[in-house]
Structure formats: C-alpha cells, structure tokens
C-alpha cells in the first residue's frame, strides 16, 4: 500500500502571540523589581546613614556585616513603601538609627518593659460608653504638655521615659509649667520597687517610687547617661514635683482613647518586637504587627499624647 506524503506546509511564526507573552513577562519583571533599590542607591543610602547617625564599627568585618544587614532592611523598606503607595498598608517605614540592626538586636537593647514584674492594680480606668470618641483629635503637644523627644540610647530604660512623660504632663496640667524630669533618677533609684535599670522595669514601679520618695529631680540636675547604676544621686533641692498616685488603664483601644482624651499624656506599653516598629517613619495605625499588650513578645514603653493624625 502506498501512502502519499502530505504536502510540506510552512508554519508561520506567531510573532504577535510571542510579543504579547514577552510584554506580559516584561511587565511582571518590572513589577517585581519596582520595590528593589539598585546597588548604587543602597550604597548612597548606606554612606548617608553612617554620616547622619555617626556610625563607626570596630573593624572591616563588622562594617561588612552591618552593610549586609542594612541592604536587607533597605530592600524591605522600599517594598513596604511601595505597598503604602498602593494603599495596602497605612504607614511608611524609613532609614533610622536601627537600619543596620536585625529586629532581635533592637529588641534586646531597647525593649525594657518587664510585664512579668507587674502586679494587679487596684485602680483601673474604664471608659464610659457615652464619652468614648467625643474628640475627633487631641494633641497634647500643641497644648504644652509634652517635652521634646528624648533618646534612651542602648539601654532598656524605655519604662523610665514613659513614666516621666506622663508625670511631666500632669505637672504641667497642675501648675502650667513644663519641666523635663530625670529618667536617670528613676533608673538609679527605683531598684527597691522592682525596676532593673537598663535591664527593664515598669512605669507603675516608677510611679510608686516617686510617690514614696515624695518627688523626682529635674533632668537638668540629674542628666541621663544611658547606664545602670544603683548609686542614687537624688537631692531634695532639685525636686520638680511629687506624685500622689496613679491609675492603670485597661488594655483596650476604647479605654486608652478615653484616658488620653480626658487625662492627658498616658504611659503605654506596646509589643514592639516586630520589624514595622523598628523602621516606622510616619502614618497611622500599625495593625500589621502585634498590638497593645497582646501576645508574649518583647514590649516597649511609650507615651500616648494624642488622638488622630500621625
């Protein structure tokens, strides 16, 4: 049996289809690379970062390691801010003094709130249903209640800064005079109340110390050193004011909003053991990470001074 072969047919290449595939592939590559800064951009940021924050390293090996960590953070920053631009997240991140550190390193150095030291409080502030959210926006800074931003350095003394911030606001509320209070006074002198200097502590314990001590020194008379010392240098002559008592606020947003609105700046503790807090720059509502006093992560103490806005 004879089988005649089929006539040879020229197959026309589908240039249009291939071009479409190429365009789609190219678009995907561009989208994937949109959030990745170039090597030259990272190097520029790295050099600027070292100058801005006065960064020096022990040797070339240490600097190379820190440059590697910085690069990792730079890529994450760019990708996160791309998500911010498209509305996927509500806050921006940026280069700060922690950009050459891993999150666990920042946590070990900075997060000094010691939840395990806390005992139940008798006095607890609860919001009344009729009053929550009365104010659209409150900013106690604009009313003179808050001193300029301070820096705790490489010392887990955040609890002392949070405590002085709340006390400064209440002293201003009472006498109309804003005085910066001494964190070092609390770091050095409140050990007998359960605080542990640069190894952590509680705002409650700081308030107890100030009440029992019948005062706290001014920052100018007892300056901050970012070091723990059990040698208390408090002097009555530099006493800026006393503390008659304190009330805890339940760990809910409604109760915190109510307290900040009615009382003034409030000491708060937040689980800051995530990268978002480490690199936070601006924006609202960091809800992509752990929240207020939830979970078992490492917590950092802050001062809540307003409602609404950044």
List phi, psi (to 5°) of 97: -65, -10
For residue 94, what pLDDT is reported?
94
CA 218, 224, 229, 233 dihedral sign is: negative
Task: Give the SS3 label for residue 309.
Answer: coil
Lowest mean pLDDT among 41-45, 276-280, 282-286, 289-293: 289-293
Mean pLDDT across the stretch 255-260? 85
The CATH number of 109-307 is: 3.90.70.10
Is 40-101 assigned to CATH 2.60.40.10?
no
Whether residue 270 has pLDDT greater than 80: no
Q: Which residue has the tokens 């640069």?
A: 198
Whether residue 52 has pLDDT greater than 80: yes
Confidence grade of residue 31 (pLDDT, cut at 50, 70, 90): very low
Report field, pTM of the whole predicted structure over 0.85: no
Is 109-307 in the same CATH topology as 40-101? no
Confidence grade of residue 129 (pLDDT, cut at 50, 70, 90): low
- Strand (E) or helix (H) holding 256: helix 253-262
Instruction: Return the higher-pLDDT residue of 180 and 261.
Output: 180
Encoded tokens for 39: 């090597």
For the chain, give every domain's residue range. 40-101, 109-307
For residue 138, what pLDDT is reported?
82
Closest to 209 in 3D by CA, of 196, 193, 220 = 193
- Strand (E) or helix (H) holding 139: strand 138-139
For residue 103, what pLDDT is reported?
87
Measured distance CA(218)–CA(46) in Å, rounded: 38
Distances (CA, A) of 49 to 45, 63, 82, 252, 281: 6, 13, 21, 37, 15
Task: Give the SS3 label for residue 206.
Answer: helix
Encoded tokens for 304: 């809540």
């Amino acid at each position: 049996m004879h089988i005649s072969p089929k006539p040879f047919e020229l197959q026309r290449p589908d240039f249009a289809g291939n071009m479409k595939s190429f365009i789609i592939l190219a678009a995907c590559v561009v989208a994937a690379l949109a959030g990745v800064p170039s090597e030259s951009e990272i190097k520029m940021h790295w050099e600027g970062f070292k100058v801005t924050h006065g960064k020096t390293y022990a040797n070339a090996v240490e600097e190379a390691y820190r440059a590697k960590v910085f690069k990792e953070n730079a890529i994450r920053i760019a990708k996160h801010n791309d998500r911010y631009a498209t509305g996927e997240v509500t806050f921006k991140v940026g280069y700060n003094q922690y950009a050459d550190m891993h999150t666990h390193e920042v946590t070990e150095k900075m997060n000094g709130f010691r939840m395990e030291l806390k005992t139940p409080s008798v006095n607890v502030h609860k919001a009344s249903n009729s009053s929550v959210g009365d104010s659209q926006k409150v900013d106690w800074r604009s009313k003179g209640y808050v001193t300029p931003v301070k820096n705790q350095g490489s010392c887990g003394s955040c609890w002392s800064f949070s405590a002085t911030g709340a006390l400064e606001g209440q002293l201003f509320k009472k006498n109309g005079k804003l005085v910066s209070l001494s964190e070092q006074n609390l770091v050095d002198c409140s050990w007998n109340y359960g605080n542990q200097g640069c190894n952590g502590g509680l705002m409650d314990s700081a308030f107890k110390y100030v009440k029992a001590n019948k005062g706290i020194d001014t920052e100018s008379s007892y300056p901050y050193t970012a070091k723990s010392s059990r040698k208390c240098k408090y002097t009555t002559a530099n006493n800026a004011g006393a503390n008659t008592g304190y009330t805890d606020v339940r760990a809910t947003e409604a109760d915190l909003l109510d307290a900040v609105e009615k009382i003034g700046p409030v000491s708060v503790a937040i689980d800051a053991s995530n990268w978002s807090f480490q690199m936070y720059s601006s924006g609202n509502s960091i809800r992509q990470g752990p929240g207020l006093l939830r979970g078992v992560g490492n917590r950092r103490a802050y001062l809540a001074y307003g409602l609404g806005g950044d």
